[in-house]
Amino acid sequence: MTAYVARRVLLLPLVAFGVTLLIFALLQFLSPAERAALFVTDPRQLQHIDAIIRKYGLDQPIYVQYWTWVKQLARGDLGWSQVARMRTTQAIGSFFPATLELTIYMIVPIILIGLWLGTTAAVNKDRFVDHFSRFFAISLRGLPSFVWGLIILMIFYGRLNWFPPGRLSLEANLFVHSGEFKVYTHLMTVDALLNGQFWIFLDALRHMAGPILTLVLVEMALLVRITRSSMLEVLRQDYVRTARAKGLDEPVVIGKHARRNALIPVITLSSLLFVGLLGGVVLAETIFNFPGIGKWGATAAVQLDIPGVAGFGMFVAFLTVLGNLAADILYAAVDPRIRLQ
Amino acid sequence: MNLKRQLLRLLVFTLAIALVGIPGSAQGQQPIKNPDTLIIQIFGDWDSLDPAWQYDTSSAEVVNWHLYESLIFFRGGRTDLYDPMLATEVPSIANGGISKDGRTYTFKIRQGVKFHDGSVMTPEDVKYSLMRFALMDRDGGPSWILLAPILGFEIQTTRDDKGNFIPSTWDRLNQQIQVKGNTVSVTLKRPYGPFLNIMAQWSMVVSKKFVVQNGGWNGAKATAAKYNNPETNEKTELFTKGGGTGPFRLESWDRANRIVTLVRNDNYWRAPAKLKRVVLQSVDEFGPRRLALQNGDADEIEIGGRVNQPAVTGIPGVRIVDDLAQLLNSPALFMNFNINPEGNPDIGSGRLDGNGIPPNFFSDIHVRRAMAYLFDRDRFIQEAFRGKGRLANGPIPYGMLGYNPKGKWYEVSRDKAIAEFREAFGGQVWERGFKFTVLFNTGNLNRQTGSQMLKEAVESLNPKFKVDTRGVTWSSYLGQLTANKLSMFFIGWSADYADPDNFTIPFMHSTGTFSSHQGYKNPEVDKLIEQAAQETDNAKRQAMYFRLQEIAYTDIPTIYIVYPVSLTVMRTWVKGWYNNPIYPSVHGYFYVMYKG
C-alpha cells in the first residue's frame, strides 16, 4: 500500500511536466502578436506591440520559452499572473482556499442527499419516490447551472436579501483587513471561528449559500442517478437474494449488503466530482462574484495568461492525481476484493 | 461570450425579474445604506495604482485626482478650461506662465501640501514625478504622452531599437524640466497647444521620499536604467501603494476579492472630503451588479452596454443619467489598402475571381465609396446604441476643437453604391463578384452587429457578392490586425488628452496606430497634422482640421460611424455628482460627492 501511494506521488512531477508541456505546445499555434494580447488590452497600446513581444520574448521558439519557464520554476517561482495581478503561487494560495471551502460545504450535502435519494429511489423502483427523484434529477440538470445561479440570485438576494454575492459583506471585509483579524487557514469560516468572530463566520456562510445551493441542486442530480442505477444492479445480484432468503432485515440488506457494493462507481464519481467541482464552480463563482480558483483559471486561459494557466494546470493535475489516489484507497476500504499491488 | 449566450442570460434575468417582481416603491424610500461610504461596482479590473504605469480606465479612476493630483485640473465639466490644483495658477501667456515662444510652461507650486505619508510636497517632488513618469516608460504604457511634447514627437520612447535605455534621455529631461525657487518649468521641443491639457491629466505628483523608501528610483541618472521599463506591474513601488496628495488615501486593494477601498485624507490641503470611504468593487456579471444597485448595496454601477439598459430602468430610488458626452470615436470601420495575403483565408482566393478579393481591393476608391454608401449608420446607432449617439464625420469627436458640424458625409444609397461598384476595378468587381470575411472579437456586440449589417447590405446588391462574418478571440483579432490581415475592421479610440491631435494621428497619419495597419498614406494629411499640432492660433488650427475632415470624406479610408454618448446609473441619494468627458469613468469626482 505504501509503495503504491509512493509510486502515485512520484508520478506527480511527470503529470505536471506533461500538462505544462502541453500548454506550451498549444502556444505554437498562436502568433507572437496573439500571445501579446494579455498586455495589449487597449487600442492605444497597439503601437507598442512589437516592443512588448520583444520584452516578454514572445517571438522566441516555444522550447526556449518553456526552458525559461522551467528554470524559473526550479527557483520555486511560477511567474507573474497578469490576470490575478499576483504571482501565480500567491494566486493559487489565495484563490484555492476559497474554492476549497466552497467545495467542502457543497460536497457534503451532495453526497449525503445524493446517496440517500438514489438508494431510496432504487429500493422503491417505479413507485412515487422513484419517479419523483428521476423527475427531480432531470429537471435540475436540464437547465444549465448559470440559469439556476441567476434564479437563486434573484430570489435569495434580489427578493429576500438573504444570500448576497461576494465573499464577505463590506463591514466584515473591512474588519478582516483591519489587522485585528488573524489569518490561519485562509478558509474564512474556519478563520472566523479561530478568531472568535462568530458574526464573520455567519457572514461568510451567508455569502457562500448561493453558490452552494446552485451547485448542490445541479451536481446532486448526477449522483442520484448513478447511485440509483448502481443500486438497482446490485439489488438484482444473487447474494442480495440470498441475504433476504436468510431472513435478514431489509435495512441490513440494503445498508450492508447492497449499498456497500453499489458504492464503487459512486466513489469514482465523487472523487471526480471533487476535482470537477473546481471547474464546475466557475459559473457559480462568476455569477455570485466569489473569488475562487476556477474563475481565475478560466479567465487566465481565455486571456492567454501563460504563467497563470501553466500554474493552474499543474495544480489541477496535482489535485486530480491526489483525488484518484484517495478514490483507490476508498475502493479498498469498501471492497476487500480490491487489492492494491 | 457569444451573442446567443448573452441574450439567453438577459432573457433568464428578465424572466427571473418578472417572476420575483421588482420590489415595490416602499424600497424606493429605503433608508440610505452606508451613508458615508460610496460604493461603486464595475466590471473591469485594476492594472496598477502607480500613476506612471497605469494606462487603463479602471486604474485611472482610482489614481486620477482621488489618490494623486495634477498641477492643474479641469474646470467643472469643461475639457478646455482649467483651475489650479497643486500649482497656484494656471500658466498663460498673460501671467507669464507660458513663454512668448510657446515652449516653456512655468508652474508655481502650492505650498504646505502634505502627501499621505505626512511629508510636505516640494517643487523637487513635482520635477521628480514628471521625470519618473517619463522615464519609467514601460512598453505599452503612457510615458510617451510626456516624452513626445518635451523631447519632440519623433521621440516616443526612452530606448533604442534593441530595447536598451538611452541614458541621455535623463540629461535632456533634467535640462528641460527645471526647478527654480518655488516654480517648476517645462520646456518643450516645439510649441504644443495641447500641453496644458496633458498637464491637467498626466502630471500626477508622487512623494519622492515615499517612492525611495519603498525601494524605488532615487532620481539619479545612474539608476534610471534600472527602473526603466519594469517587467511587471509588481516591480513598481506604487503598484499597490499610494503616495499622493489626493483627497483620499488608499486603505486597501484586496486583489483576491477585487475590491479597492479609499479612505478620506483628513490632512488634505483643502477641506476634507464629505465621504469617509469610497469602495470600488469589481463584479464581472451584470446580474449581481444590478441587484446590488436595487438593494442599495451599490450606489453606482456599470451596466456594460446599452443592451442592459432596460433592466435598470424603473427601479425605485435609482436614476439613469444619459447622454453623457465622451471623448470617444468608436467604432469606426477601417478598410485595409494592402491586405497581407500570407496564410490568410479571409480573402478567399486572393484574386478578383468571385471567390476572393485581391490584397489591394480597398485601394480602389470606388470600392471604398460603395461601402460608405452601403453602411447604414443610423440603423447601426439604433441597433447597437439604442439610438444614442451622434453621427460621426471624421476622426475628431463632436464638441472638440476642429470638429466640423457641417462636414459632409455619405448618405445611404443603394443606387450610388451600385454605381460605384460598377466602376470599381474597371467594372470587374460588378461582373465577377467577390468574397471576403469580416472578423470581430467575440463579446463585442457592437462590432458583431456592424459586421452582420455590412454583410446584409453588401449581399443584397449582387448575388455574386459574398461577405462572411466570423467571431474570434481578442487575441486573434489583435494578431490579425497587427499582421495587416484584416480586410475591413471595426475599432475605436478614446482620448489620452482632449485635443484633436490625439485623434487625427491614430486615425489618419501614415504612422498612426490604425492608419499604419490599413496602409493609408496621404502626404497632405501628414503635413496638415504635423502643422496643426504646432499651431497655437486656434482659428488656424481649426481651419486645418476642417481640411482634414474634407480629406477623410474624399479619400474615405475609414467609415466614421458614431460619437457615442454614455450613461451612468446611480441611487438617487448620490449627490454632488457631475461628469467631465475627460474623466476616466462616469462615476464622478469623489471629492465633491456625498450621500443624502
Distance of CA A300 to the CA centre of its chain: 16
Contacts of B21 in chain A (CB under 8 A): 159
In this structure, what are the phi and psi dihedrals at residue B223, rounded to the nearest 5 degrees?
-100, 0
Q: Please tell me the distance from the alpha carbon of residue B395 to that of residue B374, in angstroms, as a whole number.
A: 20
* Closest by Cβ to B16, choosing from A150, A164, A303: A150
Provide the pairing of β-strand B488-494 with B328-335.
antiparallel
- Integer CA distances (angstroms), B363 to B38, B454, B457, B522, B556, in order: 53, 19, 20, 13, 10
- The one-character DSSP state at B43 is S
Quick one: closest CA in A to B294, which residue? A158
Considering only the beta carbons, identify the residue of A43, A54, A168 that sits closest to B163: A54
Nearest to A157 among B234, B256, B291 (CB): B291
Q: Least CA distance to B48: which residue of chain A?
A: A85
* Residue B163 in grid coordinates: 530595447
A334 or B59, higher pLDDT: B59
- Cα–Cα distance measured from residue B339 to residue B316, given in angstroms and rounded to the nearest whole number: 53
Q: Hey, how many other C-beta atoms are within 10 angstroms of the C-beta on B344?
A: 20
Cell numbers 432573457 correspond to what residue? Answer: B11
Q: Return the residue of B nearest to A171 by Cα.
A: B34
Q: Nearest CA of chain A to the CA of B314: how many Å? A: 15
CB A173 within 8 A of CB B39: no
Q: How many helices, marked H, and strands, marked E, lie in chain A?
A: 15, 2
CA distance A255 to chain B (A): 42
Looking at beta carbons, which residues of chain A come within 8 Å of B478? 33-34, 36-37, 40, 46, 49
Q: Which of B257, B473, B514 to mutate to test the interface with A (most CBs of A within 10 A)?
A: B257
Determine the residue among A48, A53, A145, A162 to mutate to test chain B binding: the one whose Cβ has the most chain B Cβ atoms within 10 Å: A48
Chain B residues closer than 8 Å to A153 by CB: 16, 287-288, 291
Q: Which B residues, 224 through 283, put their C-beta within 8 Å of a C-beta on chain A? A: 229, 231-234, 251-252, 254-259, 261, 279, 281, 283
Q: Chain B contacts of A167, Cβ < 8 Å?
A: 257
Contact (CB<8Å) A155/B20? yes
| B128 CA to centre of own chain | 26
Enter the C-alpha cell of residue A205: 456562510
Rounded distance between C-alpha atoms, residue A307 and residue B44, angstroms: 21
Using CB atoms, which residue from A47, A80, A153 is nearest to B291? Answer: A153
| Chain B contact set for A58 (CB, 8 A) | none
B234/A157 touch (CB, cutoff 8 Å), yes or no: no
Beta strand pairing call for B562-563 and B277-282:
unpaired
**Alpha-carbon gap: B400 to the closest alpha carbon of chain A (Å):** 19
The answer to whether the CB atoms of B34 and A304 lie below 8 A apart is no
Taking an 8 Å cut-off on Cβ atoms, the answer to whether A173 and B259 are in contact is yes
Would the CB atoms of A44 and B513 count as touching at under 8 Å?
yes
Rounded-to-integer distance, Cα A219 and Cα A273, Å: 8
Q: What is the DSSP letter of B109?
A: B
Buried b (16+ CB within 10 A) or exposed e, B133-150: bbbbbbbbbbbbbbbbbb
Q: Nearest 5 degrees, angle CA A7-CA A9-CA A11?
A: 70
Instruction: Answer yes or no: are the C-beta atoms of B366 and B420 closer than 8 Å.
Output: yes
Q: Inter-chain contact B55–A170, Cβ cutoff 8 Å?
A: no
Instruction: List the grid coordinates of A23.
Output: 500548454
Strands B328-335 and B465-472: unpaired
Out of A54, A82, A153, closest to residue B288 by CB: A153
Is B31 in CB contact (< 8 Å) with chain A?
no
Residue with cell 520583444: A54
Whether residues A173 and B257 touch (CB distance < 8 A) is answered with yes
Comparing C-alpha atoms, which of B482, B408, B463, B48 is closest to residue B242?
Answer: B48
On whether the CB atoms of residues B565 and B322 are closer than 8 A, the answer is: yes
CA triplet A63, A68, A71: central angle to 5 degrees?
120
Element (H or E) spanning B321, and its range?
strand B318-324
**Which pairs from B249-256 meet CB under 8 Å and 24+ separation?**
B249/B67, B249/B116, B250/B49, B250/B62, B250/B67, B250/B116, B251/A177, B251/B277, B252/A177, B253/B46, B253/B49, B254/A173, B254/A177, B255/A84, B255/A85, B255/A86, B255/A94, B256/A86, B256/A94, B256/A95, B256/A98, B256/A291
Nearest CA in chain B to A80: B232
Is the CB of B163 inside 8 Å of chain A's CB atoms? yes
Give the chain A residue nearest B263 (alpha carbons).
A174
Report d(CA B130, CA B458) in Å as an integer.
Answer: 51
Residue found by looking up cell 442480495 in the block: A240
- Contact yes or no for B12 and A46 at CB 8 A: no
**Strand order across the B37-42 sheet:** B248-254, B259-264, B277-282, B37-42, B300-301, B566-571, B318-324
Query: Cβ of B285 under 8 Å from any chain A Cβ?
Result: yes
A to B CB pairs, distance under 8 Å: 171
Of B140, B231, B252, which has the smallest distance from its Cβ to A177's Cβ?
B252
pLDDT single digits (tens) A1-11: 677 778 777 88
Question: Based on the number of CB atoms within 10 Å of its own CB, is B162 exposed (0-12), middle (13-18) or buried (19 or more)?
Answer: exposed
Closest to B287 (Cβ–Cβ): which among A150, A295, A304?
A: A150
- The beta-carbon neighbor of A80 closest among B140, B157, B232 is B232
pTM score, two decimals?
0.88
Query: Given the DSSP bridges, would you call strands B574-575 and B594-595 parallel, antiparallel or unpaired?
Result: antiparallel
Contact B84, B225 (CB under 8 A): no
Grouping H, G, I as helix, E, B as strand and the rest as coil, residue A340 is coil
Taking the CA of residue B366 as centre, how many other CA atoms within 13 Å lie in the half-sphere pointing to its CB? 14
Among A43, A153, A159, the residue with its CB nearest the CB of B513 is: A43
Dump the DSSP string for B350-384.
SSSSSSB--TTGGGSHHHHHHHHHH--HHHHHHHH
Burial class (CB in 10 A: 0-12, 13-18, 19+), B475: buried
Report the gap between the CA of B71 and the closest CA in chain A (Å): 24
Q: Which of A46, A54, A85 sits opposite B255 (nearest CB)?
A: A85
Per-residue pLDDT of chain B (596 residues), as tens digits, is 454 555 566 566 655 555 554 444 444 467 999 999 999 999 888 999 999 999 999 999 999 999 999 999 999 999 999 999 999 999 999 999 999 999 999 999 999 999 999 999 999 999 999 999 999 999 989 999 999 999 988 888 899 988 899 999 999 999 999 999 999 999 999 999 899 999 999 999 999 999 999 999 999 999 999 999 998 888 999 999 988 999 999 999 999 999 999 999 999 999 999 999 999 999 988 999 999 999 999 999 999 888 899 999 999 999 999 999 999 999 999 999 999 999 899 999 999 999 999 999 999 999 999 999 999 999 999 999 999 999 999 999 998 999 999 999 999 999 999 999 999 999 999 999 999 999 998 878 899 999 999 999 999 999 999 999 999 888 889 889 989 999 999 999 999 999 999 999 999 999 899 999 999 999 999 999 999 988 878 899 999 999 999 999 999 999 999 999 999 999 999 999 999 999 999 999 999 999 99
Mutate to test the interface with B, among A35, A42, A47 (most CBs of B within 10 A): A47
Tell whether the torsion through CA atoms of B222, B225, B226 and B227 is positive or negative: positive
pLDDT for A34 equals: 85
**What's the pLDDT tens digit per position in A251-301?**
888 887 888 778 877 777 777 777 666 666 788 888 899 988 988 988 888
**Residue B178 to residue B183: CA distance in whole angstroms:** 8
- Number of C-beta neighbours around residue B520 at 10 A: 24
Residue B251 has φ and ψ, to the nearest 5°, of -85, -50
Task: Check B281 against A166: CB less than 8 A apart.
Answer: yes
What does DSSP say about strands B277-282 and B259-264: parallel, antiparallel, or unpaired? antiparallel
The residue in chain B having the minimum alpha-carbon distance to the alpha carbon of residue A162 is B295
Q: Which residue of B has its CA nearest to A305?
A: B475
Q: How far apart are the C-alpha atoms of B568 and B386, rounded to whole Å? A: 15
In three-state secondary structure terms, B462 is coil
pLDDT of residue A298: 87
Please report, as a single letter, which amino acid is at residue A211: P
Q: Nearest by CB to A42, from B55, B157, B261: name it.
A: B55
